[in-house]
Chains A and B, each alone.
Chain A
């Protein structure tokens, strides 16, 4: 199958990666049949705004449809029906309604779902909600509009922190409960987490760290209060559960592909691996669900819940699906993500959690305006900026070249590197948005220990 020869491509997953994959195929001249399967009833929409602008009184959650960047007029959309199996022998995708879709190439882009609150009965209380879909965002926004006496946010990763920020912007009292010592510790480490904690408290968030929620209590089926591990109780009208994500790979359980809770293993070009560690010819993966070895990080397998990764990963996979063999290329772009919270633009490039040390190179961490380099030995593996976004491109170039950190300048002059304070990879925090999982296509353990922490 090549760009000029027709064939059948089935894309499973109708979110950002699925859409961008389909557009790339058409833009590259693929003229065969294209089917997009999505378990949600909607055409592809953008998720990052759902925990930001869509919770303000400005942009409604329903206004997040993604623009089409290519003509997809002849796509066969199968929306509102989940894929339940991949039959590689018959080369068919099986849907929940029994339909079997034959393929020549299939792109797995089924993404992630929220890690649910572990107690199903408590999770079912009205006023207990995670945030992933447009409907989630609408329900939470309506609750915020109703003016609850307090909002409880469980988990202070990016999503939880963004929701807390919106609550304060709306003047609502909010309590954030975080198991770690500070917010954002999983993705950015304890040093930056301390800065994030400062932002939350300065904005009036009741931030409780080193604490867990033991039970969500209701009356008449409505959430009313949460009891915490420190013996206290928080009364609130809404509980937003933000405990990270689980990868949607269960439907592939009988496919013989190397997949599991950390994603679908694939090569750097997006071709899926089978359980025997061999790349499969016809099955590709992209977006949050894909776990691929990254050339910049000694081929550690990374699963990245980043917007940019969905776009680039899908483009690479689409290209490799239809190009001639020598033209295949790898997904090698530097991971990048952003968050907006408490008036602060947080941006990052690289993989912070691979670092042992952090060095603030510009600005002042105490004042919440800075750029910092993450170091594995002498080598910079990532950088983060708080309201210093314009400098990030410079750091990205250095990371691509495996350079050391730049010499701290200005307010940061004289700073020295310190322990970045990442939690042990196996610690039971919310799943971070980058999962680093070793160098084997078939074993999946979050086993890498950052430099300097292996002596414990």
Chain B
């Protein structure tokens, strides 16, 4: 699956890193690093993470939600 995070919008709430730690990681104090093509088996967690983002910075490829 393909995702992208708008890092200008991301404020480092880190909800995604709690919900899908294999796809999202916090680097340093507040920077987000992520896997733009996480394994399909992570889909449910990644979609949850996108939904839980307080600033809705995560986009998931259409048709995959």
Contact = CB atoms under 8 A, between A and B. Distances in A.
A58 B62 contact: no
Give the one of B8, B37, B60, B62 with max A CB within 10 A. Answer: B8
A69 B34 CA distance: 18
B59 interface: yes
Interface residues of B, number: 26
Nearest to A23: B62
Contacts of A69: 59, 61-62
B4 A66 contact: yes
A53 B23 CA distance: 12
Contacts of B7: 48, 307, 338
A59 B11 contact: no
Interface string B25-61: 1011111011111000000000000000000000111
Nearest to B55: A393
A387 B59 contact: no
A63 B36 contact: yes
Given A63-B36, A63-B37, A67-B3, A345 B31 contact: yes
Contacts of A67: 2-4, 59-62, 64
B36 A340 contact: no
Given A53-B34, A58-B35, A65 B2 contact: yes
B28 A387 contact: yes
Contact of B8 (A46, A71, A307, A340): A307
B53 to A, nearest CB: 14
B61 A343 contact: no
Interface residues of A, number: 35
Contact of B36 (A46, A369, A387, A390): A46
Contacts of A227: none
A343 B25 CA distance: 12
Contacts of A342: 28
Given A63-B36, A63-B37, A71-B62, A390 B30 contact: yes
Contacts of A53: 33-35
A68 interface: yes
B30 A52 contact: no
A389 B6 contact: no
Contacts of A212: none
A321 B8 CA distance: 26
A202 B51 CA distance: 38
A314 interface: no
A56 B31 CA distance: 15
A340 B62 contact: no
Interface string A33-75: 0000000000000101100110010110001111111110000
B61 A390 contact: no
A347 B30 CA distance: 11
Contact of A308 (B8, B27, B63): B8
Nearest to B38: A63
B61 A389 contact: no
Q: Which 3 A-B pairs have the closest CB atoms?
A: A343-B28, A67-B61, A345-B31
Interface of B: 2-4, 6-8, 10-12, 25, 27-31, 33-37, 59-64
24 contacts: A46-B36, A49-B36, A53-B33, A53-B34, A58-B35, A59-B34, A59-B35, A59-B37, A63-B35, A65-B2, A66-B4, A67-B2, A67-B61, A68-B2, A307-B6, A307-B8, A308-B8, A340-B31, A345-B12, A345-B30, A387-B30, A389-B10, A389-B12, A390-B30
Given A53-B33, A67-B3, A311-B6, 14 more contacts: A59-B34, A65-B37, A66-B2, A67-B61, A70-B62, A337-B8, A340-B27, A340-B33, A342-B28, A344-B29, A345-B30, A387-B28, A387-B30, A390-B11
